[in-house]
Structure formats: C-alpha cells, structure tokens
Structure 1
C-alpha cells in the first residue's frame, strides 16, 4: 500500500485485504486494556523490553537489522518509514494510544486524528539521554499500568551496569572513541551528550572525543581526526557502506594510525544510536565483551 500524508479513505478491496490479514494474526498483548502503537524506535524497544507488544510500529525490517534487540514479534504491523508513516495501515491497526517522540512532532497532528498521542523527548540539546530514557520507562510503566515491571527493568539495568563495571576493574584503562563510518574518509563520532557517551561514563571509561557535539553526534568528521586520539580504542558501530571497510583495509593512512597498528579497533555488532535503555545496555555489553576478549588475547 502506498504511504499517504493525510488520513486516507481506503478502497473497499484494500480494507478487506488488510483486515483479513490482520485477523489472521494472533492478537497482540494488551496493557492497561489499550492497543498501543508507536512511530519511534526508542519507544518500541522500551515497550518490548517491558513485555508490551504494540499493534504497530515503524520500519521493522530495519529495526531488526540495526537495533536487533529486543526481538519484534511478527504480530506487529509495519507502518513503513518513520518520517512518512503509513496512516492507512495505522488506521486499520486500530490503536487506542500512539507513542511518539520529539523527532516526529510534525507528524503528530495527523496521528491524533487516529488516536490520542503521547510524546517523549530523549535526544535534545543539553539533555542527558540516559536519564531521559529512565524517565520515559517509568512514564510508560505508569501509563500502561505496569509500574512494577518498569521498576524491575530499571533495577536490572543498574545491576547489569554494575556487573559490567566490575568486569572492567583491574584492566588497563584507555579512552574509547565510538564512531560510525560514513564512507572510507569520514565518520560520525558520538560525544558526551550521546547515549554511547553516557554509557562510557557509567562504565567508568573516558570518551576520547572531547570536542562539542550537537544532538549527540558530529558528522562528517575526516578520518585524519583519529590521529588526535592515538591512545584510544576505536569502537566501530555498524552499519557502514559496503566498500568502506574494504577501502580502509588497503589505506596506508588507516594502517599507520597507532590505534590500528596496535590492534585497538573494536568492530561491534549493530546498535541503535538513538535508542533508549535497551540500546544502552546492548552497547555496554558488546563493548565490555569486546574489550575483555581483546585484553585476554593480548595477555
């Protein structure tokens, strides 16, 4: 079905096809008696982490590749692109509540024609995304009547970070620079105001990138900037253009960087850079596992 910019009037045939497909699927879990949908990935991963399966969400194929976890059940209807939500599909999903975020303010007037909208803000100038994610998790717990479940998840998060910090104790401490390749010559770097930057701080690690960033990241940054942080671990976060890593592997400049020459490049699995607590926990776990493996390998 095509993506529309206003509340559509589907043909009878379209409505019957989609309705039949929807009825063939198991009914999603209901929280506080509400059918919940979301257009934001940070909200989606938080709902799933709390055991709430929404009736619909956006870009699910991409979410499964980039965010990876929590897994998305096949019962969740895909609303298409986050920036241009398929309002026809959303209407047919019959949500009673739609969760949004500050990224999608321009879409919310149209969403409100379908169901009430509640919005959160995690990423903004001068805002700490980790604390904002904690607040969002609590707010969702209250709104959906699962306060105990939300508090348990927050306690699990703190316990996991404590265990990961302990795992790093006693090892050599170097700063980390988290980056995402744009191409073979440029990268996006995540600063202190990013979720990755906050995770580093909570793990007791320094972020090697000390220059200001805007809304969590700066891009594009020339590859030569890595020469300014020769002592750091380079944490490379997918996705990257298909040929970028191949070109880097043959680059004399890249191979001459002390970080690369001395084996301090960590190739992590994909992580949602604008996620909430599930993304923070995934980054922390993958980073500590990679550091532990590298340190063990070097004795």
Structure 2
C-alpha cells in the first residue's frame, strides 16, 4: 500500500488534466473559501469578491488580498444581495457549500472545488489553472511546492522522533493536527511521522488533554497565534509543562509567524519551509 507521503508526491508530479474545456474564461470571480482565494491569487488572478476578506488577510498574509476586493459576507452565509450586485462570471465554492448551491446558481455559474487537505488543493490548483487558462502558473506553483517539500524531507531524514503538531488551546489542552488537515498532510509529505497514534476528526484535527499525550516520545511543534504568545510563554514556565516529558524532553518548536491551516499550496510551502528551519535548529542544538 502506498504511504500518504508517496501519494501526495505522486499527485504533485502528475500531469494536469484539462477541465471545463470550451467554457469562456471567467473574469470576475466570487470566492467563498479562503484556501481557494489563496490559490486564485497565486495564479495571478484577483477575485472580485471574497467571503470575510479581513479574516483572510489576518490568517493568510501571502499572497496578499487587495483592499479593493468586495466583502461577500460570511463563509457559509454570503450576502446574496452583494453577490448579485457584484455580477460575477462564476462563483467558486466547496462541496461544503452544497446547501447554498441552488440560490447561488441563480446568480452565476458555479465552480465547485475540493478545499480540504493537501491533495485536494493540488487537484483544485490544476483545475483552476485550466479553468482560468493559467496552466503555466499552476505548474510553477506545484513545482515550487515539490521543491519545498523535498528540501524539508531531506532535513527530516535526520529526525529520529515522531512529531506532534498542535495549536495550544489553554494550559491543559492542545488541538492536534492529523492527516486530512493541511499542516498534518504537509508533515507527512515531508517525511515526518505524526506522533499522535490515534486518528483525527473530519477536519483532520482532534482536541486532546495534554496529560493524555504527555508521555509520548515525540517532538512538539506549536502553531501559536499572535494573541496567544504571552499565554503560551506563561504555560511553558508552569511546573506542569516543565515536568511532562512531551513538553520538556526536547526543545519545543514554535511557529509564531502568521500562518493558518485555512490556506492552500502557498501556505503548504510555507509550512514545509518552517519545518526545514525547525529541524535544522534541532539538529544544531
């Protein structure tokens, strides 16, 4: 059976398939997913409108979303009047927007694309490249990601321990990323073993009490939002964190730059670069 890493590598290298051939190239796009918005921007196209654009800018700093992009409302509760007034050529959605599709189809043609996990975004990048006649840009984006992952995989060969990748929720709980999430998939593609032996939920993550995983012989990488940095610094100084093997046996890797699991392939490449840097620091420590 092929491993998740090999499947993802094969997907990166596979040739693009034609999609929506003969359909006019849409010029004005309304996008109801941040990862797909990231992808469209990375292909050199600026959407006419995006759901909750301020949240995109907070979570996904690159590629930058221009201020001129129209706010379409919430991700799963778009403002239909705003959408109608925007007069988009196409509305880009995910399968999770299925209940909205009948209403959206009355406004513009619908482009439904997968948007969860690394392999889904590889597929969506190719399909968007074909739909927008940006195949060259799509292939460049995929090739760059392949290079970033290959570089991280080279560093990961020196890593003996598995890795727990998590976001701290409070002093006693972590949100663990597993396969099916973008960070968890990139971790696997880079050749690192996930230190959590259990599975994750539909979103590729699981909420876990710290004491339940405290004895795992694994490296810990924490994805820390800007507004949580002071709290995490306090937790790391607490007797509990200094006593538990998971948080004290090895240096903790901290990801404090703005990055989110809501991104797509540009974000995946940033995760790979960060993993390379962290492993290099561990090796030199």
TM range (shorter): 0.7 to 0.9
TM-score (norm: length of structure 2): 0.82
> Contact 1:238–1:271 at 8 Å: present in 2 too?
no
Matches of 2:26 and 2:252 in 1, distance apart? 48
* Partner of residue 142, structure 2: 154
Larger relative contact order (CA 8 Å, sep ≥ 6): 2
Matches of 1:77 and 1:122 in 2, distance apart? 21
Matches of 2:80 and 2:72 in 1, distance apart? 7
Give unpaired runs (5+ residues) of structure 2. 1-23
1:115-194 alignment runs, 5 A limit: 115-123=108-116, 129-169=117-157, 171-194=158-181
* Partner of residue 254, structure 1: 241
Say if 2:257 is the partner of 1:264: no
1:1-299 alignment runs, 5 A limit: 32=25, 34-123=27-116, 129-169=117-157, 171-229=158-216, 231-239=217-225, 242=228, 244-245=231-232, 247-268=234-255, 269-296=257-284, 298=285
Bigger shift: residues 68-77 or 83-92: 83-92
Shift of 1:221: 1.2
Which whole-Å deviations, capped at 9, do the CAs of 1:200-259 have from their partners, x for residues lacking one? 222111111120112243432111123132x32211113386474255234321111224
Matches of 1:120 and 1:191 in 2, distance apart? 22
The alignment partner of 2:274 has SS state of helix
> Contact 2:36–2:115 at 8 Å: present in 1 too?
no
TM-score (norm: length of structure 1): 0.79
Which whole-Å deviations, capped at 9, do the CAs of 1:163-211 have from their partners, x for residues lacking one? 3323444x34321111112222222111123222221222111111120
Shift of 1:100: 0.4
The alignment partner of 2:176 has SS state of strand
The alignment partner of 2:213 has SS state of helix
Number of equivalences? 260
> Contact 1:176–1:207 at 8 Å: present in 2 too?
yes
> Contact 1:182–1:240 at 8 Å: present in 2 too?
no
Matches of 1:167 and 1:223 in 2, distance apart? 28
Alpha-carbon distance change, 219 to 202 in structure 1, aligned in 2, over 3 angstroms:
closer
